[in-house]
Amino acid sequence: MGDQHNQLMNKKIIIPILIILLAAIGALAYLYFAQKQEMTEMVEQMEFEKSELEDEYEDLAMQFDGYRTPDISNDSLTQLLSQEQQRVRDLLEELRITKATNARRIAELKKELSTVREVMVSYVHQIDSLNQTNKRLTAENRQVREQYAVVQQQAEQLQQQNTDLSEKVTRASMLEITAFSVTPLNKRDRKTNNINQMQKIQFDYTIGKNVTCERGMKQIYMRIVRPDGELITLPDPQNRMFAFENSEIEYSLTKEFEYGGEAMDDVLYWTVGEILYKGTYNADFFIDGALIASYPFVLKK
């Protein structure tokens, strides 16, 4: 009876203790799973915040890229932008390798982001100001170039007008041959139409009146070109050149005369010293370095 009584008493003691232990274990298990769930949610929240922070860094890096354009001509500002852009890249790389549970470093990186943003805003204001200045200067330069183009065009027009006027004055002061005739002569100085009997050719011409031409002694040169295109020249090549258009050319006949401003008649003679060909010849007259007249004439058998 004594043993049974002891066993009964032990059961009465053990059972409540077991119940209490089970309850404690259940409570502890509940707290464990509740805390684990809470920790999981905290980690997920920190991962989410880290991901958002990475996105913000990437957006900021892209903004820096957008302002690193050739339009920014300020070397110092370009260098500062480059430094800040590299800083953003370094911080982004550090953020990516930092664990989400490292709340302290995540908070520091978030603060760094705010600082870099402030710097970015400052640079944006400087860039906008610089761009506005560049636009104003570009507009002013364009206006100056347009004004210069107008002035240059006016100067070119004035120069052309002066050139035209100078050419008109030059042409007005040039002498002209107003009449020309050819008379073939035989050995008796009589007119002949037989090319085989021609010993001399007489060229009669009239120099027109010109009150603007400089008066005084002048030299007239005549070039006679045969039907085959060859020039009839004097026998001595050393004494048959004259100046024309910055060069020296040959002549066939020449004569000095005095010009007084009024029309005058004159004559040149060419002594036949070679075989004549039938066909069209050409006589060119030059005075004061200018070609003043050109006349064709025909010699027939």
In this structure, the number of other CB atoms found within 10 A of the CB of residue 24 comes to 10
Top-confidence residue, 98 or 145: 145
Tell me the pLDDT band of 213, cut-offs 50, 70 and 90. confident
- Nearest CA to 252 out of 218, 288, 286 is that of 286
Q: Locate tokens 């009997």: which residue?
A: 197
Give the tens place of pLDDT for each residue, 175-212: 999 999 999 999 999 999 899 899 999 999 999 998 88
Q: What is the pTM of this model?
A: 0.47
Q: What percent of the chain has pLDDT over 90?
A: 30
Residues 6 or more apart in contact with residue 16 via CB below 8 angstroms: none
pLDDT at 169 over 50: no
Give the tens place of pLDDT for each residue, 245-296: 888 999 999 999 999 989 999 999 999 877 788 999 999 999 998 999 999 9
Average pLDDT in the chain = 79
pLDDT at 53 over 50: yes
Phi, psi of 190 (to 5 degrees): -105, 150
Tell me the pLDDT band of 163, cut-offs 50, 70 and 90. low
What pLDDT score does 265 carry? 95
